[in-house]
């Protein structure tokens, strides 16, 4: 039997090698440019990893989407961690509300707790998600926005949920509005709650839960009514490659995460703004801005030096403080900017002795005595620090010996905030029974 020519024998090898090389080249180029099947493969991989890591959460066995390691040091956490008072004489008095996952597995999935100045829990609001939104499982939502009222009721919003609701002191729904609300929640002092609904700032009536009006991010804020003057706000995230192509946006090009109105009692400190002007945060643009609530026109804005920021707040001295997450840096900060001059200073940053970092989420509040109340969300930790940056107290929201629960907000209220004293579910129940009997 005669041998096949060498060229015939090598041809399959060359063909296979060529296909392999072309596959590698196409795979590389498709990854760069997002051609088929790179997006599909990426989506499949992310879905696989999400299911692998969180299947126990999604069938209700363990809240893996909500529990986190206390810190990134790699050291074994203290199993007894909880509340520690370091400088009790320097703590701001009053009460602290804490919103997040319930650390009691026997209770409702979400809860808001109320602690007194000594760190003792004096009340809690169970949040039964199924009673305010029947379309989502509670373990796949994250209690995020929180507001509290003088009568002891609270209002809440959720990540991955869609509802804004007001609950009484027992956690029973007063009203709920199911309509894609998310992130922050703030009272405007005029009878409304401000939140984000999809990409719109929404004003909701505190008493009824009805949406009063909205302000659209893209059509009214980004583009604005006067395109000739606001052309610089036409922010394009994917540049067209052909003259006749439309501008394309990624799925979440702005990521709005806060909208806070300028209250009447603070307006004198900001002569360049008016009562009701809204301070917004667009995380993906590292942008903090103040907008007119009627037209959406930006009256002031600043990009950075914060990175992936949250929770900008008006302050009584005419400055604005910002929670700088510093995502990827391992170090979060509280920054302060003067909108009149653009000058930025640093109020607080973590250190080796006092680590402070949350790569996403996070809240801060400047307290009456000058201390800072900080929510280190992704390590499940709350802390109060004095103006010199020294730790006053800290609280780990402990899940078990090694893990904490994500906590989305801590909120201080003064001792005389509640009209009838510390909220009591027992009083609410007694009043309801009296009404029924009457």
| pLDDT number for residue 79 | 82
pLDDT score, position 71: 82
Predicted pLDDT at 50: 62
The pLDDT value recorded for residue 78 is 84
Q: For residue 156, is it within any domain?
A: yes
What is the structure's pLDDT at 270? 98
DSSP characters over 266-301: GGGG-TTS-TT-EEEEEGGGTEEEEE-TTT--EEEE
Q: Is residue 281 part of a domain?
A: yes
CB 203 within 8 A of CB 212: yes
- Domain count along the chain: 1
The pLDDT value recorded for residue 227 is: 43
Please report whether residue 334 resides in a domain: yes
Q: Which domain holds residue 424?
A: 80-437
Residue 31 lies in a domain: no
Distance CA 137, CA 297 (A): 38
Q: Is residue 212 part of a domain?
A: yes
Tokens 């995020």 belong to residue:
144
207 vs 47: CA distance, rounded Å: 41
pLDDT the model gives residue 350: 87
* CATH number for the domain that contains residue 220: 2.130.10.10
How do residues 183-225 score in pLDDT, each as one tens digit?
A: 999 999 999 999 999 999 999 999 999 999 999 998 899 876 4
- In sequence order, which residues have a C-beta less than 8 Å from that of residue 56 and are 6 or more positions away? 62, 64
Give the helix ranges, DSSP H, for 3-92.
Answer: 6-33, 38-58
Using alpha carbons, select from 215, 158, 147, 144 the residue that is nearest to residue 186.
Answer: 147
Q: Which of 246, 222, 243 is nearest to 234 (CA)?
A: 222
3-class SS of residue 98: strand
pLDDT reported for residue 240: 65
Tell me, yes or no, whether 163 lies in a domain.
yes
Contact 81, 87 (CB under 8 A): no
How many C-beta neighbours within 10 Å does residue 36 have? 9
Q: Which tens digits make up the pLDDT trace of 289-339?
A: 999 999 999 999 999 999 999 999 999 999 999 999 999 999 999 999 999
State which residues of the chain have pLDDT below 70: 1-9, 11-17, 19-21, 23-52, 55-56, 58-59, 61, 72-75, 224-242, 245-250, 427-438
Which pTM does this prediction carry?
Answer: 0.84
DSSP reduced 3-state for 50: helix
How far is CA 140 from each of CA 146, 158, 189, rounded to the nearest angstrom? 18, 10, 32
Tally of residues, the chain: 438
Give pLDDT, residue 312. Answer: 98
How would you classify the pairing of strands 391-396 and 404-405? unpaired
Q: Give me the pLDDT at residue 228, please.
A: 37
In whole angstroms, how large is the CA radius of gyration of the chain? 26
Q: Which DSSP state fits 222?
A: I
């Amino acid at each position: 039997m005669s041998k096949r020519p060498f060229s015939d024998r090598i041809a399959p090898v060359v063909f296979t090698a060529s296909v392999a090389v072309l596959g590698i080249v196409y795979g590389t180029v498709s990854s760069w440019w997002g051609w088929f099947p790179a997006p599909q493969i990426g989506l499949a991989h992310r879905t696989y990893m999400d299911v692998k890591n969180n299947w126990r959460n999604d069938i209700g066995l363990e809240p893996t989407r909500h529990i986190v390691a206390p810190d990134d040091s790699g050291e074994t956490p203290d199993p007894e961690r909880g509340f520690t008072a370091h400088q009790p004489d320097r703590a701001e008095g009053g009460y602290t509300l804490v919103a997040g996952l319930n650390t009691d597995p026997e209770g409702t999935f979400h809860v808001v707790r109320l602690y007194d100045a000594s760190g003792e829990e004096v009340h809690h609001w169970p949040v039964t998600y199924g009673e305010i939104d029947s379309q989502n499982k509670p373990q796949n939502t994250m209690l995020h926005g929180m507001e509290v009222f003088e009568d002891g009721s609270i209002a809440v919003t959720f990540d991955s949920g869609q509802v804004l609701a007001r609950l009484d002191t027992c956690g029973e729904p007063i009203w709920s509005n199911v309509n894609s609300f998310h992130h922050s929640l703030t009272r405007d002092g005029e009878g409304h709650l401000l939140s984000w609904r999809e990409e719109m700032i929404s004003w909701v009536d505190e008493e009824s839960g009805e949406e009063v009006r909205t302000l659209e991010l893209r059509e009214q804020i980004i583009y604005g009514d006067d395109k000739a003057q606001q052309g610089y706000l036409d922010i394009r995230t994917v540049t067209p490659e052909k003259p006749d192509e439309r501008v394309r946006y990624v799925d979440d090009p702005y990521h709005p995460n806060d909208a806070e109105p300028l209250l009447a009692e603070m307006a004198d400190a900001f002569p360049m703004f008016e009562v009701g002007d809204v301070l917004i945060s667009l995380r993906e643009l590292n942008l903090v801005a103040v907008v007119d609530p009627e037209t959406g026109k930006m009256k002031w804005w600043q990009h950075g030096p914060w990175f992936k920021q949250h929770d900008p707040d008006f302050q009584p001295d005419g400055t604005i403080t910002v929670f700088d997450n510093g995502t990827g840096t391992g170090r979060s900060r509280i920054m302060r900017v003067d909108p009149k001059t653009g000058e930025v200073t640093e109020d607080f940053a973590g250190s080796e002795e006092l680590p402070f970092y949350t790569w996403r989420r996070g809240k801060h509040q400047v307290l009456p005595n000058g201390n800072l109340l900080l929510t280190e969300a992704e390590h499940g930790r709350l802390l109060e620090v004095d103006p010199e940056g020294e730790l006053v107290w800290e609280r780990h929201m402990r899940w078990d010996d090694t893990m904490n629960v994500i906590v989305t907000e801590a909120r201080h209220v003064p001792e005389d905030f509640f009209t009838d004293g510390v909220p009591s579910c027992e009083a609410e129940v007694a009043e309801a029974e009296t009404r029924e009997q009457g």
